[in-house]
Chain A
Amino acid sequence: MPASIAIQAENLTKRFGDFTAVDAISFEVKKGEIFGFLGANGAGKTTAIRMLTGLSRPTDGEAFVAGFDVARQAEKIKENIGYMSQKFSLYEDLSIRQNIRFYGGIYGLRSKAIKEKTAQILKELNLETYADQVVGSLPLGWKQKLAFAVSNVHDPAIVFLDEPTGGVDPATRRQFWEMIYAAAHAGRTIFVTTHYMDEAEYCDRISIMVAGKIEAMGSPGELKTKFGATTMDEVFVKLARG
């Protein structure tokens, strides 16, 4: 796998008995790219991500994530990726500081490194005065930014974001995307799954899954041109309705 490629999937397939959830998908994600992974409910997104994050073994085909084989080096993959979902990432009854320490510990950072990371995150997010506040009491937008920072605590090569910004106000959403742009600009690869099409417009490139297969791939601009649409929403509707 060339050094410029962060994720490479080749005919990646998952079958459950007679049902093919993921049907020989192939794609590449470049380092530092923001890649959107789209599809309707039941299209096979979740199964594909479970394979890419080393949680589920492919039935067929292969994939490399951060240079590691998803079938044989699942543990290595887990060390080298970050994961954030709006719902499940942070412990609501732990404080900001405790959450950072917890995740730092999980990823094997030493106490000194955790201390430095904590100081850095608190400063970057302007949360120094709230460090000991329980996360459950924070506004949604702060939680999201913190969850993203925490998913980056071990400097992973790739971060998986699972529907990261649903429901927040437009200003907070933009602050969040600026954090993502900054991370990608610094060389981190971002893999975003969402079914909010307006979120998809922020990605460099997008793939759209329909019934286990990748039916379209390209930049938002390319896809809109190809499908004669003005928004990603229209592209998605055209694809999903056949």
Chain B
Amino acid sequence: MQNAIKITGISKFFGDLKALNDITLDVAPGERFGLIGPDGAGKSTLFKILTTLLLPTSGQASVAGYDVVKDFKEIRRRVGYMPGKFSLYQDLSVEENLHFFATIFGTTAKASYHLIEEIWVQIEPFRKRRAGKLSGGMKQKLALCCALVHQPEVLFLDEPTTGVDAVSRREFWEMLKRLKAHGITILVSTPYMDEASLCERIALIQHGEILSTDTPQGIVSSYKKPLYAVRSDQFYQLLQDLRKAEFTEKVEPFGEYLHLTTKPAVQTETIGNMMEHKGHQHILIKPIEATIEDVFLDLMQTENAV
């Protein structure tokens, strides 16, 4: 079956700055695909190329089977795009915004009600309110409704959850999961590593390059080195002590734990003994599976070393 998004060797330069460097990526129809990377990684530039708002410097890409350069008009009819910056009309009301976007695409909100119903009922109580006066979570829901109102084949969501509180973030992802039933392909970007697991497949992106593409589980299990979560009563001192330890390959703070990667075949006991010897108390050491963030950090270091 044809890919919903096909990207082949796309590069974009702004003067000397390589915003995107030879990106190749395929997204299957109906797939929920995540682009995971920090600010400045090139996520928004890639979105703008795929939504035909920016021309690539080189390479090719197609969306819903149409070429992003030659067939831009076709693509604009078939995709929904929610930019990173809130881009609805702040001084139109909620329902005016929705009707405006429906009209632009020659349709009505009624015709696509089956698609937006679930989200719409949450913002309907505020339908007379100006969009500019909505809370962050509500703005985001309205923006999603407006991006869906013409029943797009492919939906582009550029950092939809940035700056939104944890509850709204979670609700938003639940909505995306349910859109799956309508067969819509979704490309979504986020700087939050913990949101990666909510996608079916992800690409890790940094400095305009893709570090890795796989399922979240595949990314996580690609980390082959021994990894431990470690903690003691003296967190900062422990970080220093572990950095100096002979068995350590690297150690990074991860919230209330340190993540310690050791050289092969090191016993948990060896780590514990060292910590006791240095006077640490309330010691906790447990072998863990890597997180997306562990892998990202690891790939970044490999990149930088090259």
Stretch at the interface among B27-35, B45-53, B149-157, B235-243: B235-243
Q: Which of B165, B194, B297, B300 contacts A231 (CB 8 A)?
A: B194
Query: Given that A140-B39, A240-B167 are contacting pairs, would A181 and B236 also be in contact in the complex, using a CB cutoff of 8 Å?
Result: yes
Within 8 A of B (CB), among A190-222: 195-198, 201-202, 219-221
Which of B72-80, B117-125, B180-188, B252-260 contacts the other chain?
B252-260
Q: Is A40 on the interface with B (CB-CB < 8 A)?
A: yes
A185 at the B interface (CB under 8 A): yes
B75-114 at interface with A (beta carbon < 8 Å): none
Residues of A within 8 A of B (CB-CB), count: 35
A202 and B255 in contact (CB under 8 A), knowing A167-B38, A169-B38, A195-B166? yes
Residues of A within 8 A of B206 (CB): 169
* Residues in chain B near residue A139, CB distance under 8 A: 40
Kindly state the separation between the CA atoms of A73 and B163 in the bound complex, as whole angstroms: 34
What A residues does B165 contact at CB under 8 A? 40-41, 195, 240
Cβ contact within 8 Å between B253 and A177 = yes
B39 to A236, Cβ gap below 8 A?
no
Complex: A204 Cα to B156 Cα, angstroms: 38
Are B167 and A178 closer than 8 Å at their CB atoms? no
Chain B residues numbered 142-180 whose CB sits less than 8 Å from any CB in chain A: 162-163, 165-167, 170
Asked if B296 lies at the interface with its beta carbon under 8 angstroms from chain A, I say: yes
For the complex formed, measure the closest distance between the CB of A227 and the CB atoms of chain B, giving whole angstroms: 13
* Contact A240 B166, beta carbon cutoff 8 Å: yes
Residue of B nearest to A236 (CB): B166
Q: Is the CB of B256 within 8 A of A170?
A: no
- Contacts between the two chains (Cβ within 8 Å), count: 81
Contacts of A168 in B (CB 8 A): 38-39
Is B135 at the interface (CB under 8 A from chain A)?
Answer: yes
State in angstroms the CA–CA spacing of A65 and B167 once bound together.
31
Minimum Cβ distance to chain B for residue A35 (Å): 14
Q: Does A138 contact B (CB under 8 A)?
A: no
A202 cross-chain contacts in B, Cβ below 8 A: 253, 255-256
Chain B residues within an 8 Å CB radius of A197: 166
A181 in contact with B235 given A170-B296, A198-B255, A231-B194 (CB within 8 Å): yes
Q: How large is the interface on B (under 10, 10 to 19, 20 to 34, 35 or more residues)?
A: 20 to 34
Give the chain A neighbours of B69 by CB distance below 8 A.
none
In the complex, which of the residues A171, A181, A233 contacts B194, with contact meaning CB atoms closer than 8 Å?
Answer: A233
B132 at the interface (CB under 8 A from A): no
B256 with A219: CB separation less than 8 A = yes
Closest Cβ neighbor of A202 among chain B residues? B255
A184 within 8 A of B: yes
Chain A positions within 8 Å of B301 at CB level: 171
Residues of the B chain whose Cβ atoms lie less than 8 Å from the Cβ of A169: 37-39, 41, 206, 300
Partner of B293, one of A170, A219, A231: A170
Q: Which residues of B contact A236 (CB under 8 A)?
A: 166-167
Taken together as a complex, chains A and B put the C-alpha atoms of A95 and B141 apart, in Å, by: 41
Whether A140 contacts B166 by the Cβ 8 Å rule is no
Which of A172, A201, A233 contacts B166, CB < 8 Å? A233
The CA-CA distance from A140 to B239 in the complex, in Å, is 25
CB 8 Å contact bits of A1-45 with B (1 = contact, 0 = none): 000000000000000000000000000000000000000111000
A115 at the interface (CB under 8 A from B): no
Alpha-carbon separation in the docked complex, A167 to B300 (Å): 16
Q: Kindly state whether residue B55 has any CB partner on chain A within 8 Å.
A: no
Of chain A, the residue at the smallest CB distance from B206 is: A169
B220 within 8 Å of A (CB atoms) = no
Please indicate the chain B residues that have their CB under 8 angstroms from the CB of A232 in the complex: 255
Assess whether B135 is in contact with A41, with CB atoms less than 8 Å apart. yes
Q: Mark A134-170, 1 if CB is under 8 A from B, else 0.
A: 0000011000000000000000000000000011111
Q: Is B235 within 8 A of A171, CB to CB?
A: no
Does B192 lie within 8 Å of A198, measured CB to CB?
A: yes
- Residues on the A chain within 8 Å of B226, using CB: none
Which residues on the B side are within 8 Å of A119 (C-beta)? none
Q: Indicate whether B191 reaches chain A with its CB closer than 8 angstroms.
A: yes
Q: A125 at interface (Cβ–Cβ under 8 A)?
A: no
Task: Kindly state the separation between the CA atoms of A178 and B258 in the bound complex, as whole angstroms.
Answer: 12
Q: How long is the Cα–Cα vector from A237 to B135 in the complex, in angstroms? A: 17
Is the pair A220, B255 in contact by a Cβ cutoff of 8 Å? yes
Given A41-B165, A170-B300, A171-B300, check contact A201 B255 (CB 8 Å).
Answer: yes
| Chain A neighbourhood of B191, CB < 8 A | 166-167
Q: Is A174 an interface position by the 8 A CB rule? A: yes
| Beta-carbon contact of B256 and A181 below 8 Å | no
Given A41-B135, A170-B293, A220-B256; 19 other pairs, CB 8 A cutoff: A40-B167, A41-B136, A41-B165, A167-B162, A168-B38, A169-B37, A169-B38, A169-B300, A170-B38, A170-B300, A171-B297, A174-B253, A178-B253, A181-B235, A181-B253, A182-B236, A196-B192, A233-B170, A240-B167
Q: List 18 A-B contacts (CB under 8 A).
A: A40-B165, A41-B135, A41-B165, A166-B162, A167-B191, A169-B41, A170-B38, A171-B301, A181-B236, A181-B239, A185-B236, A198-B193, A198-B194, A201-B256, A221-B256, A233-B166, A233-B194, A241-B167
